[in-house]
C-alpha cells in the first residue's frame, strides 16, 4: 500500500459489466421452494417454472399429515384483477408411493409475476396458500437433429408428391381412358409441373419467413436480467447504477419495494468465496444506489444484488468490481461481514461445524443421505453457545429467524433463502394480500415473534445442479450478526 493508501480509503475504480448469466429471482436457480401453512396443514411446495413460456410448470406438494383429502392447484397473476378471480383449479395427483405427496402440472401462459394457489382440503378443514412464481422465458428450445432431419425429409416428399400429382393431372386429365399421352399432353404436363413447383417453393419460402419472424419476436421476449455498473469512489463509497437492457414486459428501475426492510440487498463475495459481505445500499435516484463500504482488502469481487419490483417480480443482478484496499467505515445496522477462519471451512457429514466469534459454533444438522439435484431438502442448522449448549439468544434478523445464501463455487448459482422458502418476502406478502382479497384469509405471520427463538433454523431449498457450493447461514444473537459457512457437494 502506498502512502496515500493510509487515508480513509484509497479506492481505485473499477467498472463493471453484468455477467451474461440467466438470472431470475435467483441466479441459476429458478425453482421455487416454500414451507408454509395452508390453514391447519403444513405444506412444503416446490414449483418448477418452465424454461419456455407458454410452458408447463411442475408442482409438488408434500403435506405433513395423512388426513389431507385432496390438493387443488391453479396458476393466477400475482397482482391485478386476475389475482381475484381464480379459474377452476386442477386436482393434484396423490403419489402412489407416498400418500403425503401430491403432484401436478400447470400451464403458465405469459411471462411475468404469477402465483400458484395451493388449496388443501382434509378432515381438519381447508386452507389455501399463494406461492409467488415469476415466469421468465429463459431460452428458445432447439429442435433435435433427428426430428429436424425427419421433418425435412417428409417436407421434401410432400412437395415432390404434390408437384408430380399436378404434373400428372395436367398431362392426363384431358385424355380418354386407355389413351397414351401425346407430345401436346406431355407439354401440358410439364407446364403444370413447373407452375406447381413455383407455387410450392413460394409457400415454403413464406413459411420460413413467418417462422423466422416468430422466432425473433420470441427472442425479444426471452428474459434479460437488469445490468448494473459500479464504481468505487475515493472516499470508499460504492455506487451502483441499475439499468434495464430492454425486455418486453414493461420493466422499471424505480419501482423497487422493500424486501425484509431494505430496497436492495447487496452481497459481495471474493471469487474464492473466502470473503462475504451482506450490505444494504441506499437509493439515491432512479436505479441509483450507494453503499459506504466497510474494510475491503485489495482484490476482485463479485456482487449479487437482490431487488423486488412492485409487481412482485424479484431479480438478482450480477456484477463485479475491483478495488485496491479500502479502509472503510464500521458495519452498521443490518450489514454484516464474514471471512474464512484460518482453520478453514470443514464440511462433510458429521463434521459440519462452523466456528462463531463468541467461541460458540453453528452445526449443520444433516443425515448421511447425499444431496440430489433439484430435490427439496431441509437445510437445518443449530447454533451452540460457547458452552456447547443450544444458544438461547437468537433474535430476528431483518424479521426472520435466519437467512441462508447458497453460492456455487463457479458463482453461476446464487440463492437467498429464508425459513419460509426461496420466494422473496415482498412477493409472499403481495401473494397473501391477493389471497385475503379473495378468501378473506387471516394475515399470516412469517416473523416468528416471541421472546426467545429456537436455536435451530431450517431452510427449504434444492440445489439446482451438480457441483460444489458454499452455504452462508446468518442469524442474529444478542444484537450481533453471526455467519456460519458450510461446504456442500451435489454429486
Ligand atoms: Cu434474507
On the question of pLDDT at 399 being above 50, the answer is yes
Q: Mean pLDDT over residues 370-375, rounded?
A: 90
Could you read off the pLDDT of 45-104 as tens digits, one per residue?
999 999 888 899 999 999 988 889 999 999 998 887 777 777 889 999 999 999 999 999
Are 393 and 457 within one domain?
A: yes
Distance 379 CA to ligand 1 centre (A): 15
Are 64 and 104 within one domain?
A: yes
DSSP sequence for 14-72: ---------BSSSBS---EEEEEEETTEEEEEEEE--SSSSEEEEEEEEES-TTEEEEE
Distance 417 CA to ligand 1 centre (A): 6
Distance 463 CA to ligand 1 centre (A): 17
Distance 482 CA to ligand 1 centre (A): 13
pLDDT at 440: 45
Are 318 and 368 within one domain?
A: no
Range of the domain at 399: 340-491
Higher per-residue confidence, 288 vs 3? 288
**Does 420 fall in a domain?**
yes
Could you read off the pLDDT of 95-138 as tens digits, one per residue?
999 999 999 999 998 888 899 999 999 999 999 999 999 888 87
**Does 204 fall in a domain?**
yes
| Confidence band, pLDDT 50/70/90 cuts, at residue 419 | very high
Distance 276 CA to ligand 1 centre (A): 14
Could you read off the pLDDT of 423-458 as tens digits, one per residue?
888 888 888 888 876 554 444 444 445 567 899 999
- Give me 250's grid cell: 414493461
On the question of pLDDT at 331 being above 90, the answer is no
On the question of pLDDT at 7 being above 50, the answer is no
Residues 305, 266 contacting (CB under 8 angstroms): yes
Higher per-residue confidence, 177 vs 410? 410
Domain end call among 135, 163, 196: 135
**Does 83 fall in a domain?**
yes
Are 299 and 406 within one domain?
A: no
Q: Of the ranges 4-8, 33-37, 62-66, 442-446, which one carries the lowest mean pLDDT score?
A: 4-8
Distance 464 CA to ligand 1 centre (A): 19
49 - beta bridge partners?
Answer: none
From the list 108, 111, 110, 116, the residue with the least C-alpha distance to 133 is: 116
From the list 11, 16, 5, the residue with the least C-alpha distance to 235 is: 11
Domain end call among 339, 367, 384: 339
The residue count of the chain comes to 491
On the question of pLDDT at 14 being above 90, the answer is no
Distance 425 CA to ligand 1 centre (A): 8
340 - beta bridge partners?
Answer: none
Q: How many domains does the chain divide into?
A: 4
pLDDT at 249: 63
Q: Mean pLDDT over residues 209-224, rounded?
A: 86
Q: Mean pLDDT over residues 26-55, rounded?
A: 90
On the question of pLDDT at 13 being above 70, the answer is no
pLDDT at 248: 64
Are 114 and 158 within one domain?
A: no
From the list 123, 128, 125, the residue with the least C-alpha distance to 66 is: 123
pTM above 0.75, yes or no: yes
- Give me 425's grid cell: 418476502
Q: At what angle do helices 145-172 and 183-221 cross, to 10 degrees?
A: 150
Are 298 and 370 within one domain?
A: no
Distance 376 CA to ligand 1 centre (A): 19
Distance 316 CA to ligand 1 centre (A): 13
**Does 195 fall in a domain?**
yes
Higher per-residue confidence, 176 vs 287? 287
Are 344 and 491 within one domain?
A: yes
Q: Mean pLDDT over residues 411-422, rounded?
A: 92
Are 482 and 346 within one domain?
A: yes
On the question of pLDDT at 282 being above 90, the answer is yes
| Confidence band, pLDDT 50/70/90 cuts, at residue 341 | confident
Could you read off the pLDDT of 298-318 as tens digits, one per residue?
999 999 999 988 888 888 999
Are 389 and 446 within one domain?
A: yes
DSSP 8-state assignment for residue 226:
P
Higher per-residue confidence, 414 vs 110? 414
Are 400 and 474 within one domain?
A: yes
**Does 152 fall in a domain?**
yes
Distance 279 CA to ligand 1 centre (A): 11
On the question of pLDDT at 19 being above 50, the answer is no
Mean pLDDT across the chain: 85
Domain end call among 135, 163, 190: 135
**Does 365 fall in a domain?**
yes
Are 350 and 475 within one domain?
A: yes
Are 187 and 214 within one domain?
A: yes
CATH number of the domain within which 116 lies: 2.60.40.1930
CATH number of the domain within which 313 lies: 2.60.40
φ/ψ bin of 388: left (φ > 0), alpha (ψ from -120 to 50), beta (otherwise):
left
| Confidence band, pLDDT 50/70/90 cuts, at residue 23 | very low
Distance 90 CA to ligand 1 centre (A): 33
pLDDT at 177: 82
Distance 198 CA to ligand 1 centre (A): 64
Distance 174 CA to ligand 1 centre (A): 82
- Which residues have a Cβ under 8 Å from the Cβ of 261 and sit 6 or more positions away? 334, 398, 399
Angstrom distances, CA of residue 277 to CA of 333, 340, 454 = 13, 12, 25
Distance 253 CA to ligand 1 centre (A): 21
pLDDT at 143: 81
pLDDT at 272: 92
Distance 404 CA to ligand 1 centre (A): 7
Distance 194 CA to ligand 1 centre (A): 69
Distance 277 CA to ligand 1 centre (A): 13
Task: Write out the H or E segment, with its range, that includes residue 153.
Answer: helix 145-172
pLDDT at 481: 93
**Does 177 fall in a domain?**
no
Distance 377 CA to ligand 1 centre (A): 18
Distance 418 CA to ligand 1 centre (A): 6
**Does 140 fall in a domain?**
no
Distance 354 CA to ligand 1 centre (A): 19
Distance 399 CA to ligand 1 centre (A): 9
Amino acid at each position: 500500500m502506498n502512502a496515500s493508501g493510509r487515508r480513509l480509503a484509497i479506492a481505485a475504480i473499477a467498472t463493471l459489466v453484468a455477467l451474461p448469466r440467466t438470472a431470475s429471482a435467483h441466479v441459476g436457480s429458478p425453482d421455487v421452494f416454500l414451507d408454509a401453512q395452508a390453514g391447519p396443514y403444513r405444506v412444503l411446495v416446490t414449483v418448477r417454472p418452465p424454461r419456455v413460456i407458454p410452458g408447463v410448470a411442475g408442482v409438488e406438494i408434500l403435506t405433513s399429515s395423512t388426513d389431507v383429502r385432496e390438493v387443488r392447484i391453479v396458476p393466477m397473476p400475482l397482482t391485478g384483477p386476475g389475482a381475484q378471480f381464480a379459474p377452476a383449479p386442477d386436482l393434484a395427483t396423490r403419489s402412489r408411493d407416498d400418500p403425503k405427496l401430491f403432484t401436478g402440472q400447470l400451464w403458465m401462459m405469459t411471462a411475468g409475476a404469477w402465483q400458484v394457489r395451493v388449496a388443501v382440503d382434509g378432515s381438519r378443514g381447508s386452507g389455501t396458500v399463494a406461492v409467488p412464481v415469476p415466469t421468465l422465458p429463459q431460452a428458445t428450445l432447439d429442435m433435435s437433429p433427428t426430428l429436424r432431419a425427419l421433418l425435412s425429409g417428409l417436407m421434401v416428399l410432400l412437395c415432390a408428391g404434390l408437384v408430380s400429382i399436378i404434373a400428372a393431372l395436367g398431362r392426363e386429365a384431358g385424355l380418354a381412358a386407355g389413351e397414351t399421352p401425346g407430345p401436346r399432353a406431355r407439354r401440358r404436363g410439364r407446364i403444370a409441373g413447373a407452375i406447381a413447383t413455383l407455387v410450392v417453393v413460394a409457400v415454403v419460402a413464406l413459411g420460413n419467413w413467418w417462422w423466422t419472424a416468430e422466432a425473433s419476436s420470441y427472442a425479444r421476449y426471452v428474459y434479460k436480467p437488469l445490468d448494473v455498473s459500479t464504481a468505487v469512489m475515493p472516499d470508499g463509497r460504492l455506487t451502483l447504477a441499475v439499468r434495464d437492457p430492454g425486455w418486453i414486459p414493461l420493466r422499471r428501475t424505480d419501482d423497487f419495494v422493500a424486501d425484509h426492510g431494505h430496497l436492495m440487498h447487496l452481497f459481495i463475495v471474493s471469487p474464492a468465496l473466502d470473503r462475504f459481505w451482506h450490505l444494504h445500499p441506499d437509493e439515491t435516484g432512479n436505479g441509483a444506489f450507494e453503499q459506504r463500504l466497510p474494510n475491503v482488502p485489495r482484490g476482485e469481487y463479485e456482487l449479487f444484488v437482490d431487488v423486488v419490483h412492485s409487481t412482485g417480480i424479484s431479480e438478482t443482478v450480477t456484477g463485479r468490481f475491483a478495488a485496491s484496499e479500502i479502509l472503510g467505515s464500521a458495519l452498521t445496522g443490518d450489514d454484516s461481514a464474514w471471512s474464512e477462519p484460518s482453520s478453514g471451512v470443514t464440511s462433510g457429514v458429521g463434521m459440519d461445524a462452523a466456528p462463531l466469534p463468541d467461541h460458540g459454533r453453528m452445526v449443520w444438522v444433516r443425515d448421511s443421505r447425499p444431496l440430489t439435484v433439484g430435490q427439496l431438502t431441509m437445510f437445518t442448522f443449530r447454533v451452540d453457545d460457547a458452552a456447547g449448549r443450544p444458544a438461547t439468544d437468537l433474535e430476528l434478523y431483518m424479521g426472520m429467524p435466519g437467512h441462508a445464501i447458497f453460492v456455487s463455487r463457479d458463482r453461476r448459482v446464487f440463492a437467498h433463502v429464508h425459513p419460509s422458502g426461496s420466494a422473496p418476502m415482498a412477493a409472499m406478502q403481495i401473494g397473501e394480500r391477493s389471497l385475503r382479497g379473495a378468501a378473506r384469509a387471516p394475515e399470516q405471520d412469517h416473523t416468528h415473534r416471541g421472546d426467545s427463538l429456537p436455536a435451530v433454523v431450517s431452510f427449504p431449498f434444492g440445489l439446482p445442479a451438480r457441483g460444489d457450493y458454499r452455504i452462508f447461514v446468518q442469524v442474529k444473537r444478542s444484537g450481533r450478526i453471526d455467519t456460519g459457512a458450510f461446504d456442500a457437494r451435489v454429486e
